[in-house]
Structure 1
């Protein structure tokens, strides 16, 4: 767990300081505030959650198609219906 904590804290610090550095390099203040630390973290969290939900829906759809096929052959060669 401590191996993840240090890089994660450095990444969060960079994201929090990023709008200040953007202002120094001549980026407009509104643009730097819009893509600031908090909004960027929220945006990344929402995108990751959306991707996870899409993946789970696709996985469930795949399993529904697998289970509704109806007939599975057993070892004896007879057909068993589910």
Structure 2
């Protein structure tokens, strides 16, 4: 599955597209298709706690194509990755 996300801040708007691969009940791997990044990889890991619950771990590794975009969006994405 692919997904596109539109983000804007301080008058700068960008769209990025990711390819998202689901491993049922285990994880979702996200990789960059297109957007303002040199690299963007990440994902969610679902760790069973009980039959009705799981812990979700999220990781995100990215690098922007230029400093202006990094200044506008970098902190927000860093916070999302924590």
TM-score between both structures, scaled by the size of structure 1: 0.21
The answer to which structure has the higher strand fraction is 2
Q: Structure with the greater relative contact order (CA < 8 A, sep ≥ 6): 1 or 2? A: 2
TM-score between both structures, scaled by the size of structure 2: 0.21
